[in-house]
Structure 1
Amino acid sequence: MKKFNLNEQLMLGVCYYPEQWPEEMWEDDMIRMRETGISLIRVGEFAWSIFEPSEGNYQFKDFDYMLRLAHKHGLKVIIGTPTATPPAWLTEKYPEVLNATIEGHSLHHGLRRHTNYTSTTYHRLSAAITEQLVMHYKDNPAVVGWQLDNEFNCEISEFYSEADHKAFRRWVQQRYGTLEKLNDAWGTTFWSQTYSSWEQIYLPRLVPGGRQPNPHLALDEKRFISDSVIAFAKIQADIIAEHAPHHFITTNGLFGHLDSHRLTKELLDFFSYDSYPQFSTIFSDPAEERPLADRSWSQTLSTVRSISRQFCIMEQQAGAGGWVNKMDMPSPRPGQMRLWSYQSIAHGANLVVYFRWRTATFGQEIYWHGLNDYSNLPNRRLAEAAKVGEEIQQISEALCSTTYQAEVAILRDYHNEWDGEYDVSHGPFGWKSGKEWYKALTRSHIPSDIVYINEETTLAELQRYKLLVYPHPAIMSKSTAQLLEAYVVSGGHIVFGCRSGYKDQRGHCYMLPFPGMLSTLTGVTLEEYTVIKGTRAATTATTIDQQTTLQTVSFNEIIAPFSSTVDVIATYDQEYYEGKHALTRNRFGKGSAWYYGSVFTEQVAQFILQQFEEISSPAPWLELPEEIELAVRGNEAQQYYFILNYSDAPATINVLEPACDLLTSAKLHGQHQLAAYDVLILYKQ
């Protein structure tokens, strides 16, 4: 049997929970799914108590019938292993599987994700239910793939059960080998924290001052959690790969303390993501200038694309969102759900699965609306999904083999992300600067990638891009610094911000002039630095040509060039370092390395971007207002230009050369009014 290939077609799907609805509704649901253009359903990820109502008592009758109906109506099926929601009999009989708070208090049954990943008992029980499901459904003609668990590390991404403390001890023993090496890595001579036996080692616990662990222990904690999740996922993935090699394996998420790149490389056929653009109404910062709102999800989709060039959206927002205790997200306006669907497709999704088919009438998520309302009557969201379904069938052949195209990348890495959760001298800056750079790029209609750099990253992978932005990589290994040097020597350009290059992978500061491992590449050292807070007011810097004033926020570093190849671009205007250097460019080999002694704003990112003549919109034949996003998917044969209007008002675009719209076959030339939340996919013949 041929394995389902994500790259061979575009598909529309929906999450379905037959266990929540009377059996007599199932066939009608599936008939209407097909009428809506839906060809795939995801089921089962929360149904452990249905599959195994008591230990060892496996029941598949209901799902067998549902799968027969799915196959009858031409629906492909993804089954989720149900390990995110163990049944009550399990947690009652085996309380050791439960997670605990940092205070040591056990978390209890009643929501989801209340278990730990390290309990050998939970490993055994999870393996058993997975094997029973796979053996039962491996030859079912409707089933094409498996989703491991559901949203690893959602709700909670820290684990302090007794099983976790024991597993952490084993993990550090394997990592360091000797207590001497562990004590050195964690700098335990500071404040007399030295360990003299392995039994003294725990995950972070409450200490004076609350949650203030040794920072190097805190960094290793995140590495341990990621390894624990991957080990738990591997138990299930190995079972599926052995018994159902003709089925694909994926999982959904993008939550904290998990190396999703390694997870995907080692265990999955492709990665899946759950896209809810109106989470922007929850996480938005009221102090943020010019926020992107739902358009910001394009940056998150770029992160997903760094894991899988083509991926699945396992849950695409299809209505208002909220639990009974938090009604968070308003209903999409007419056109927004379609816009978000194409936002996902533009960034690399070949399978978009709406969450969910029908709004639940009971449980925690009764206000998390699906395509259908409680009444089951036709509504505008269902009609909008049907329009997307019809369009996807039309454009699938053209787009399925294409990938997102970009010449600029924002670099990230897990070491700095995890270290930066606790180290506020660089962590918050990384997220802010990455966002501000993305604003500058997307509003300039320059597509960009997110690239996670690690020990396996090659020079060829970096050379795909003309410009790299690595805002605040405090942790910088010698090998990564040398890789970046080789990239610039070969003709690439890279931009760094403050707090770069001064830590090793343990989180220790190098005994080197800042920016440590990046001094050779940037051609500078730092005289000193200061946080902008309290007695230090916000400052500005002026470019040498006196044409531009830059905002220097949050942190200021005084840059001292030592190489004759360094050009000073801007100097500070205030404080005791007035007239000293704030922004430099080092001509290094065939390329350049820029260093900015502060945290980036959109304005600063836009200024630096404008200094690169070779970096511009890939569609100079389009004049687009800044509220329009331009995304490009293409291959050797053709490029497709997605024009996405996030505004609640029509936008005027100017097509300077004739082009066709893939969605409507209309020919465009000259000015065109793009309706609010509307989409075009243009190509040139």
Structure 2
Amino acid sequence: MNHHAATLAPSPIGLPVPAEAAARPRFVHQGIAFGCDYNPEQWEPAVWRDDVALMRDAGVDLVAINIFGWSALQGPDGSFDFTALDEVIALLHGAGIRVNLGTATASPPPWLTTRYPEILPVMDDGTTRHPGGRQAWCPSSPVFREHALALVEAVAKRYADHEAVALWHVSNELGCHNALCYCDTSVRAFRAWLQRRHGTIEELNRAWGTSFWSQRYTDWNEIGAPRLTVSTRNPGQVLDFHRFSSDELLDYYRAEAAVIRRHSDRPITTNFMVTAHVKNLDYWTWAPEMDVVANDHYLDHRLGDPRTELAFAADLTRGLAGGEPWLLMEHSTGSVNWQPHNLAKAPGEMLRNSLAHVARGADAVCFFQWRASLQGSEKFHSALLPHAGTDSELWREVLELGAIVDRLEEAAGTRVVADVALLFSWEAWWASDAENRPTHAIEYLDQVHALYAALHELGVTVDIVRPGADLTGYALVVVPGLYLVRGDEAAAVDAAVAAGVHALVTFYSGIVDEHDRVRPGGYPGAWRDLLGIRVEEFAPVLPGTALSLESGASASLWAERITATDAAVVDVFADGPAAGRPAITRRVGASGSGAGDAWYLGTLLEAGDLRALVAHVIAGAGVEAEAGASATVEITRRVGDDRAYRFVVNHGADDVELAARGVELVTGDAVTGSLTVPAGAVRVIREEASA
């Protein structure tokens, strides 16, 4: 077994690293940080003192403050008042608690949007969004940027050398609500971005395919943002607008970071939102700009399997961090307040959620927020200190978690081991889920999550990497529904297979290039030769229509008319629009002597059948699953130069027994051959590095 991630270079996977990155400050913390967001402006000063004392009781050692502090710091006359913030920072510092200091720019105060209404964002239907919520600003607005950077300047100058400041926190969840702005200011910025990207109007016309529907442009000023139209919009324009919008907010991040760096040598980050329902920022392009990668994650009960999505998000965040440890900047002790059904966590679930992130590379466990708000939009969002106070089961669980995080201190800085890489792309997500596509019954994440879930249930740890990443050292690369892929990115998979890596590619992959232009000659376009197949036609079926394979496997939603040109047929459609055609193929030694096998899956298998196929593929690739892992028992390893840790998270209702030797850190017990992990519990075994 060739454990890959334990020896990765400390830079984001597959990303060009800026020249100055090596000289950037690193976030250094003793052990694994345990922390929260704190919003002292919601409370009287007497409460601050009680809060800091309780933070010490809980073991909190990193607190994010001044996230939404703009209206408390600056009035309409432009003057600043740091009296309260000074006091809060002094209280935290006096208690030995380090500060993750926000720049306070996430939401402008009402006086600013009243005075300058042109900074308000405009939606794709042309309507303006007004103050009263948060992030009521256009990312392209020079007026907003002028005032926001003046605030950052004042904050950075005042606290640059304060001993309490361990980390700078730019804005908050950038693009959560305002990533796509369609106002006239954004249109002008979009045109400038297009000129830089395409160079000439002729090249833009080629990239967008504007000969279709008489859309050919003759001047840059003819181009607008892709607001709603009476039909469907140009997909090339929509795709480029997503790219522009991600770049525009990244440029804003850079602007704040540049101001901070003029005054401070402390590390800088912002909190990503790597989760299933936030898709507007391409974090592969953002990650190289971070001194440390941080993520906010909340269980999403709109999904069929929120717990597996948590694992996926954690693995993807680790991928963004290049295998380096990362920070869980926010998650919840219990329910959130923004889903249709906000479910409380079961006893022990907060602990399992928290340590599942640590098991997958997080070196910080932080929450939104410290004390539950009494007013405002998030008053029913859970917190470390609930409305019920310290005489509550939740508070007792918080104390337990804080103590356990302290016991895991020695695991900080280690890296997760994985033998399987899964390609993931925000660009493919944007392009694949377009207005016009073969079927709206399947979205990009459906395939991604299905393949990840199969690997997860089989006990296989996965590195999630960007297309074009170096795949050296992996045993298997999985390519689920990667609709958009560049030529060099496709070639990276070809090269890996030629070098002996096995591949599993699923339907709707390799179809278009970076301009959303179909590769002619039959699907799957970029990987026809690698896979030894040719798809003549997609043949999706209506929801509720069952598909059967000759092996007895069940599928749904997608079929296609496949011809095996240089691949063995593993299974065949027994019915449906592709009856008698291959459904699963395998090209053995796909690129010659010493090459890996290249598998293709041309339908959406039911979960059990998909898991069986993936089990067969990983066995052929020589990937060893973690013994004892299952759909309810997560087992993950973190490895350092001279130590190794096995994390076991038992989500099930039954105790499990595992072979193990070493020291169990949660209980402090020696393990001399076997370990029982109680139902609902987490255990972490320090093993020999070679175990």
Q: TM-score, normalised by structure 2?
A: 0.90
Residue matched to 2:7: none
Residues in 2 aligned to 1:653 and 1:616: alpha-carbon distance in whole angstroms = 23
Residue matched to 1:568: 569
Residues in 2 aligned to 1:80 and 1:549: alpha-carbon distance in whole angstroms = 56
Higher normalized strand content (fraction of residues): 1
1:66 shift after superposition: 1.0
544, 558, 561: which one pairs with 2:561? 558
1:30-49 correspondence to structure 2 within 5 Å: 30-49=52-71
Residue matched to 1:296: 309
1:404 has 2:404 as partner: no
1:259 has 2:273 as partner: no
Residues in 2 aligned to 1:4 and 1:170: alpha-carbon distance in whole angstroms = 34
1:640 has 2:645 as partner: yes
Cα RMSD of the aligned pairs, angstroms, is 2.1
1:519 has 2:528 as partner: yes
Residues in 2 aligned to 1:681 and 1:513: alpha-carbon distance in whole angstroms = 50
1:603 shift after superposition: 2.8
601, 604, 612: which one pairs with 1:599? 604
Residues in 1 aligned to 2:626 and 2:123: alpha-carbon distance in whole angstroms = 52
1:385 shift after superposition: 1.8
Matching residue's letter, 2:287:
T
Matching residue's letter, 2:366:
V
165, 172, 181: which one pairs with 1:150? 172
Residues in 1 aligned to 2:293 and 2:655: alpha-carbon distance in whole angstroms = 36
Residues in 1 aligned to 2:624 and 2:515: alpha-carbon distance in whole angstroms = 40
1:190 has 2:212 as partner: yes
1:379 has 2:379 as partner: no
Aligned with 2:444: secondary structure? Answer: helix
Q: Deviations over 1:526-560 (max 9, x none)?
A: 233311128x9432212xxxxx4222322212221
1:344 shift after superposition: 1.3
Residues in 2 aligned to 1:127 and 1:440: alpha-carbon distance in whole angstroms = 46
1:3 shift after superposition: 5.4
1:341 has 2:354 as partner: yes
Residues in 1 aligned to 2:649 and 2:659: alpha-carbon distance in whole angstroms = 18
1:683 has 2:686 as partner: yes
Cα distance, 1:156–1:617 mapped onto 2, change above 3 Å? farther
Contact 1:44–1:81 under 8 Å retained in 2: yes
Residue matched to 1:674: 677
Residues in 2 aligned to 1:104 and 1:292: alpha-carbon distance in whole angstroms = 36
Residue matched to 2:406: 393
57, 65, 75: which one pairs with 2:97? 75
Residue matched to 1:288: none
Cα distance, 1:672–1:424 mapped onto 2, change above 3 Å? farther
Cα distance, 1:296–1:415 mapped onto 2, change above 3 Å? closer
Q: Deviations over 1:39-69 (max 9, x none)?
A: 1111011010111122421110110011111
Cα distance, 1:355–1:516 mapped onto 2, change above 3 Å? same
1:16 shift after superposition: 0.8
Residues in 1 aligned to 2:606 and 2:439: alpha-carbon distance in whole angstroms = 15
1:404 shift after superposition: 1.3
1:214 shift after superposition: 0.6
1:676 shift after superposition: 3.6
Cα distance, 1:616–1:92 mapped onto 2, change above 3 Å? same
Residues in 2 aligned to 1:215 and 1:247: alpha-carbon distance in whole angstroms = 39
Cα distance, 1:436–1:103 mapped onto 2, change above 3 Å? closer
1:561 shift after superposition: 2.0
57, 61, 72: which one pairs with 1:50? 72
Residue matched to 1:545: none
193, 208, 214: which one pairs with 2:234? 214
Give ranges in structure 1 of 5+ residues lacking alignment.
Answer: 285-290, 543-547
Aligned with 2:569: secondary structure? Answer: strand
Give ranges in structure 2 of 5+ residues lacking alignment.
Answer: 1-23
Contact 1:409–1:450 under 8 Å retained in 2: yes
Residue matched to 2:668: 665
Q: Deviations over 1:342-363 (max 9, x none)?
A: 0111111101112211110111
1:567 shift after superposition: 1.6
Aligned with 2:548: secondary structure? Answer: strand
Contact 1:625–1:653 under 8 Å retained in 2: no
Q: Deviations over 1:207-234 (max 9, x none)?
A: 214xx21111111110010111111111
1:156 shift after superposition: 4.2
1:431 has 2:445 as partner: yes
Identity percentage of aligned residues: 26
137, 146, 149: which one pairs with 1:127? 149
Cα distance, 1:45–1:122 mapped onto 2, change above 3 Å? same
1:199 has 2:221 as partner: yes
Residue matched to 2:471: 462
Residue matched to 1:533: 542
Cα distance, 1:153–1:425 mapped onto 2, change above 3 Å? farther
Aligned with 2:561: secondary structure? Answer: strand
1:96 has 2:118 as partner: yes
Cα distance, 1:416–1:17 mapped onto 2, change above 3 Å? same
Aligned with 2:646: secondary structure? Answer: strand
Contact 2:65–2:101 under 8 Å retained in 1: yes
| Paired positions, count | 652
1:600 shift after superposition: 4.4
Residue matched to 1:287: none
Residue matched to 2:326: 311
Residue matched to 1:443: 457
Cα distance, 1:576–1:100 mapped onto 2, change above 3 Å? closer
Matching residue's letter, 2:95:
H
1:616 shift after superposition: 4.5
1:89 shift after superposition: 0.9
Contact 2:423–2:464 under 8 Å retained in 1: yes
1:578 has 2:572 as partner: no
Residue matched to 1:168: 190
Q: Deviations over 1:164-222 (max 9, x none)?
A: 1111111112211211111111111111111122111101123214xx21111111110
Residues in 2 aligned to 1:206 and 1:576: alpha-carbon distance in whole angstroms = 35
Aligned with 1:321: secondary structure? Answer: coil
Residues in 1 aligned to 2:139 and 2:357: alpha-carbon distance in whole angstroms = 31
Q: Deviations over 1:130-172 (max 9, x none)?
A: 1110001101111111111111121343211111111111111
Cα distance, 1:451–1:7 mapped onto 2, change above 3 Å? farther
Contact 1:71–1:142 under 8 Å retained in 2: yes
Contact 1:634–1:640 under 8 Å retained in 2: yes
Contact 1:98–1:116 under 8 Å retained in 2: yes
Matching residue's letter, 2:160:
K
**Greater relative contact order (Cα 8 A, min sep 6): structure 1 or 2?**
2
Cα distance, 1:659–1:145 mapped onto 2, change above 3 Å? closer
1:330 shift after superposition: 2.5
Residues in 2 aligned to 1:549 and 1:659: alpha-carbon distance in whole angstroms = 45
Contact 1:426–1:472 under 8 Å retained in 2: no
Contact 2:172–2:270 under 8 Å retained in 1: no
Residues in 2 aligned to 1:381 and 1:295: alpha-carbon distance in whole angstroms = 24
Residues in 2 aligned to 1:187 and 1:387: alpha-carbon distance in whole angstroms = 59
- Structure 1, 96-105 or 251-260: larger mean CA deviation: 251-260
Q: TM-score, normalised by structure 1?
A: 0.91
Aligned with 1:202: secondary structure? Answer: coil
Cα distance, 1:88–1:64 mapped onto 2, change above 3 Å? same
Matching residue's letter, 2:44:
P
Residues in 1 aligned to 2:120 and 2:669: alpha-carbon distance in whole angstroms = 58
Aligned with 2:100: secondary structure? Answer: strand
1:580 shift after superposition: 2.1
Residues in 1 aligned to 2:46 and 2:545: alpha-carbon distance in whole angstroms = 67
Matching residue's letter, 1:159:
C
Residue matched to 2:614: 609
- Structure 1, 422-431 or 84-93: larger mean CA deviation: 422-431
Residues in 2 aligned to 1:217 and 1:514: alpha-carbon distance in whole angstroms = 24
Matching residue's letter, 2:547:
T
Residues in 2 aligned to 1:51 and 1:518: alpha-carbon distance in whole angstroms = 56
Contact 1:321–1:327 under 8 Å retained in 2: no
